[in-house]
Amino acid sequence: MTDAVADSSLRPPASRPASAVRVRSYWGSVWHRLRYDYVTLFCLVLIIAIVLTAVFAPLISPMDPYKSSMAHRLRPIGYHNYLLGTDEQGRDILSRMLYGGRVSLTMGILPVALATIIGGLFGVVAGYFGGKVNMLIMRTMDVFFAFPSVLLAVAISGSLGGGITNQLLTLTVVLIPPLCRVAETATSQVRTMDFVDAARSTGASTLSILFTHVLINVMSPVLVYASTLVSVSIILASGLSFLGLGVSPPTADWGLMLSTLRQSIYVQPIVSAIPGVAILITSIAFNLLSDGLRQAMDVRA
Amino acid sequence: MWLYAGRRIVLTIPILLGVTIICFALVQIAPGDPIQNLLSPTATAQDAARLRAAYGLDQPLMVQYFIWLGKVCVGNLGMSISDNVPVAGEVLHAFVNTIVIALISVVLAFVVSMIFGVIAAYRTGSLADRLITAVAVFGISVPPFWLGVILVIFFAVDLSWLPATGMGASGSETFSYFRWADFKFAIMPIIALALPPLGIMTRTTRSSIAEILNQDFIQTLRAKGLSEAQVIVHAVVNIMPQAVAMLGLQLGYLIGGSVLVETVFTWPGTGYLLNKAVLTRDIPLLQGTILVLATAFVLINLVVDLAQSLIDPRLKRS
Amino acid sequence: MLSRGIRGAVKIAAIAVLAWGAIGGRASAESVLRVAMTAADIPDYTGAPDQGYEGYRFAGYTLYDALGLWDLSSSTKAADVVPGLATSWAIDPNNNKRWIYKLRQGVTYHDGCAWNADSAIWNFARVMDPKAPQFNARHVGQMGTYVVNIASVDKIDDYTIAINTKAPSSLFPYEMAMYYMISNCGVQKAGNDYNVYMKTPAGTGPYKFDKVVPHERLELVKNDKYWNPQRIPKHDRLVLLPMPEASTRAAALLSGQVDFVEAPSPDTIPRLKDAGMKIITVPYPHNWDYMLRMDVPPFNDIRVRQAANYAMNRQDMVDMLQGVAVAATQTLIDSQPWYGKPVSYDYNPDKAKALLKEAGCTPCVIKVGISTSGSGQMQPLPMNELVKEQLEAVGFNVQLAPMDWNALIGVFLTGAKKYDFNAINFSMAPIDPVQGILKKWMTAYAPPACCNWGFFADPKVDQLGNEALGEFDATKRNALLTKMNEQAVADAAELYIVHDLNPRALSPKLSGFVQAQSWFQDLTPIVVSP
């Protein structure tokens, strides 16, 4: 999981801003390329489906995910009405998986979104203004880069303690530095481009240059990079839950379910493996999607 | 070159200082009290206060930090609270266990990923390429601790081929990688550790080789009459500087990120130590472990950067 | 036996188990007992164990003796204190604050140092006298509570000491069964440096220290000169391995890495049985309960406390735990002499609802501190989820606040008033009346003095307690303690849930183990067949 951060973070994708000068046609060509990339499209559909089942969990869950039954503990897949069996407290696994997706997907997407905004902002500011501002921001980030992400996550989470808010905070802090660095690299490249100089010479304000020119060109490498981090974030979150630093029970969450069902792995190995499989599939889907996006957006890895 | 190296080394110092501040701050904001663990279930508050004073935990924070930093600079990481032994020795002992297994894992992952990457790049779109890509995606997508649990069930419990937990038949102190009875303890941790870097390096190798194979000079080589094997060797040699740098980075990440896998297999390395320190709220041990790991990570990055600029001066970074 | 481990590794588990002993390069004739503990680390083995009472079980009573010892030889009656390093003790007939202890003669520490009155007095100074060279602040933290009632210790002759208590203390011998004696010569030879001493710690116990690999294993060997010949270990070596994860312990037992596993998770038990392992359970005082905060609403109202107790469907909990627990309707178990004939809060949800309504607590919002794991906490997460569900079924609204085990120990030690918890899930082993009754319910033992976490206050209970402490006749004292216990139950002073049966799983090659009705266990009778 750390390694996936390493994969891209220390080798920030270099953008090709020149190709994006004519904005509409760039996104048009991205869509054009995506349309014929069936693997990516399939992953996109899969992810949308997973997200939808999580969002509409209260409507589609066959049972109450918190209703336990001592008489029906650890039942196999397909037992009576329990499509995916039951857990150690006799709760319906399918319902818990649907509800658990809400927490797990949130832990995958929300920290990345927050880190993209915060890290991206710092990165753009550092890249655009350069000099002392850049020095201050990037050297601070360097300090955080001195910690492999798992180590940093365990250190922060271990200090703050478990719980959903702390987990969110931890993941966001861990993801900010790599996103900041990507945004900074992309921005400093854009800054020296001719069209930025041109805009500056026409007297455009710094803010308007940032918004009209810089942000748009920085967006694609940052978004592509952020999409790779979703699976990192999901796996990292499940790892924290595994160490007892995640959400608190009885909240349904894939990582926590994986951790508690591990005790039952000798009784119902297949049922116990379900949360792990869900994490794996979601993570693969996000990884393949970000690969596809990267190719379609013509961002070099 | 020397200027670059010198500047790169000097830049490392403030980073390391920042690392110490973070290490110290993180541990201080934590809830829980390390002293409680040492007290008997029926001890009184006076007992606790006496013990707290004995460990210097009643001093102001800044004082505690500078006292700690001063000691760190002379290699004294304090005494572990739960074991009452020097932290430096504890961490170093564990660090050796971690770095050896991380090295084996990363070298294994490197070799396999080079082979996989070349095959996949050379036969893009073939069944082999798709299989290899699938393995690589699996590697970076699977939660490593979950993989560890699955491995234990198959190879330790069901098949009884490999031991489930621990390091060596009589503990890590007499462990030898060259004795089968000991080495079999390392097999499952190595696999669980190697898979994520294998995935990452396979993907990178595949795309780098594919890119090189598309370049003009390869066609020129072919036209000159070089065999396909020679062409591939050429391509591999071409990506070596980059691949070696990648190897170093992955090593750094394995050393710092092995906490989950080490916990699953009770491998007595730094990750396992870290997990224990968090659980027992052993402040000096936690600080020492994080500090050593982060320092190692910074130094490995430094070496990688320097090595890279040595091999390939074009890669000199600002 | 097998000379190399390789053959075993590729065959079935049973052979792998045999091979193990040979792999370590030891003489193949040596019989080795390997135990997986639930502790996260090796407990302190210098005579002041940490890691809760599991530390006492494996690194305390194995290496060391106290003046009195728990009789762990029977699984049918509750363990009580019998002579250990003292052969007898009695209160001074002329002074009810002076205990006379006759010491056992002819006992030596593992390093050859002699056990006598001087050694005993030296051992008390180790924790009581900050000016003594052997004073050890760590040991104070762990053992200080057992000497808190001692005013001074006098030598009468080489094998007799007098211990003066600060107040009449009829239950003092129980405290002396927890205080270990370590070799004074050993510490002196180490220059009073306990870090040097810990390389060769010496007690008088049935096992001798052999070696330690930090965090991984503690190896003890049989003391064949032990003063009690019946308790000389029937195996040569005892290897203690910390394995906090229940699934790791199960995997280690199934793959033949260990022979004796503490607290396998209930769900793994059928699988372990299938593999031929012996599962042993015995009821002993190990109360898995909620301690209640009784100085503020809602639990200051006895009706709310009773409602919570009536809401418990304890059979459901026992079912979930696959029968490795028994329903608890009070702190003690019925084989203890102080159990009495207390009221029993059997499952009655209608009565619970009515009581809550009467108390005007609807919904009755409570916050409960729980741990995520920990020695004696059983399976805290699913169990607490079930308690929450049952309480909410009658009108409570429960918020669970999970934390690390040590953090929860901190909450317990500092007392309810420092936190906003209405209850904590804190398991205790009320093995003797000091811990099970006196220190739990008397106002004098409210934090920080000791363990009355929730500030329970009942003048009747206090009065009975003071009478019991001044009563040196065992029968009369037990009658007082019984009344005291009955009164605490009538007051619904806790939320009683279950008693842990503390399951253990043993490899089929072990025999002779007797699971005592105690937190502590005697490993010495175990025979390891090849």
The neighbouring-strand residues paired with C325 are: C500
For the stretch C489-519, pLDDT in tens is 999 999 999 998 888 999 999 988 888 877 7
For the stretch B252-299, pLDDT in tens is 888 877 888 888 888 888 887 888 777 766 777 877 888 888 888 888
Q: In this structure, is residue A126 part of a structural domain?
A: yes
Mutate which of B155, B165, B176 to test chain C, going by most C C-beta atoms within 10 A? B165
Distance CA(A115)–CA(C161), nearest Å, equals 69
- Closest Cα of chain C to A73: distance in Å? 8
Give the closest residue to B210 by CA, choosing from B114, B84, B118: B118
Task: Check residue C449 and give its pLDDT.
Answer: 67
Q: Does C270 touch chain A (CB under 8 A)?
A: yes
Distance CA(C481)–CA(C483), nearest Å, equals 5
For the stretch C124-152, pLDDT in tens is 999 999 899 999 888 887 787 788 889 99
- What proportions of chain C, in percent to the nearest 5, are helix, strand and coil? 35, 20, 45
Q: What is the pTM assigned to this prediction?
A: 0.77
The ipTM value here is 0.79
Domain count, chain A: 1
Q: In this structure, is residue A282 part of a structural domain?
A: yes
Q: Does B146 touch chain A (CB under 8 A)?
A: yes
Q: In this structure, is residue A28 part of a structural domain?
A: no
Q: Do C4 and B164 touch (CB under 8 A)?
A: no
Q: Does B149 touch chain A (CB under 8 A)?
A: yes
Task: Check residue C27 and give its pLDDT.
Answer: 45
Q: Does A248 touch chain C (CB under 8 A)?
A: yes
Three-state SS letters, A107-146: HHHHHHHHHHHHHHHHHHHHHHHCHHHHHHHHHHHHHHHC
Backbone angles phi, psi at C432, to 5 degrees: -135, 165
CATH number at residue A141: 1.10.3720.10
Q: Which chain B residues are Cβ-neighbours of C9 within 8 angstroms?
A: 161-162, 180-181, 184
Q: In this structure, is residue A44 part of a structural domain?
A: no
Task: Check residue B36 and give its pLDDT.
Answer: 61
Of C233 and A155, which is predicted with more confidence?
C233
Task: Check residue B30 and give its pLDDT.
Answer: 64
Least confident of B28-42, C28-42, C354-368: B28-42
Q: Average pLDDT for residues C356-376, to the nearest whole number?
A: 87
Of C487 and A27, which is predicted with more confidence?
C487
Backbone angles phi, psi at C27, to 5 degrees: -60, 135
The token pair that represents C39 in the structure block: 């502790």
Residue-number span of the structural domain to which A247 is assigned:
76-296
Task: Check residue A76 and give its pLDDT.
Answer: 77
Mutate which of B98, B110, B141 to test chain A, going by most A C-beta atoms within 10 A? B141
Q: Do B32 and C41 touch (CB under 8 A)?
A: no
- Out of A70, A260, A266, whose CB is closest to C319? A70
Question: How many contacts, defined by CB atoms under 8 Å, are there between A and C?
Answer: 58
Q: Does C275 touch chain A (CB under 8 A)?
A: no
Task: Check residue C160 and give its pLDDT.
Answer: 95
- Closest Cα of chain A to B129: distance in Å? 15
Task: Check residue A299 and give its pLDDT.
Answer: 59
Q: In this structure, is residue A134 part of a structural domain?
A: yes
Q: By three-state DSSP, how is residue C247 classified?
A: helix
Q: Does C265 touch chain A (CB under 8 A)?
A: yes
Domains, in order of start, for chain B: 2-38+47-73 (no CATH), 89-279 (1.10.3720.10)
Q: Could you tell me which chain A residue has the CA closest to the CA of B152?
A: A265
Backbone angles phi, psi at B185, to 5 degrees: -70, -25
Q: Do B47 and C254 touch (CB under 8 A)?
A: no
Q: In this structure, is residue A23 part of a structural domain?
A: no
- Decide if pLDDT at C85 tops 70: yes
State which residues of chain A have pLDDT below 70.
1-25, 70-71, 249, 298-301
Percent of chain B surpassing pLDDT 70: 89
- Decide if pLDDT at C25 tops 50: no
- Closest Cα of chain C to B82: distance in Å? 8
Q: What is the mean pLDDT of chain C?
A: 86
Backbone angles phi, psi at C12, to 5 degrees: -75, 165
Of C101 and B69, which is predicted with more confidence?
C101
Q: In this structure, is residue A171 part of a structural domain?
A: yes
Q: Could you tell me which chain C residue has the CA closest to the CA of A159?
A: C404
Distance CA(A106)–CA(A101), nearest Å, equals 8
Q: Average pLDDT for residues B14-32, to the nearest whole number?
A: 78
- Out of B150, B157, B200, whose CB is closest to A4? B200
Task: Check residue B40 and give its pLDDT.
Answer: 55
Mutate which of A70, A166, A245, A247 to test chain C, going by most C C-beta atoms within 10 A? A70
Distance CA(B101)–CA(B80), nearest Å, equals 25
Q: In this structure, is residue A45 part of a structural domain?
A: no
Task: Check residue C489 and give its pLDDT.
Answer: 94
Q: Which chain A residues are Cβ-neighbours of B204 within 8 angstroms?
A: 7, 301
- Out of C255, C412, C450, whose CB is closest to B156? C255
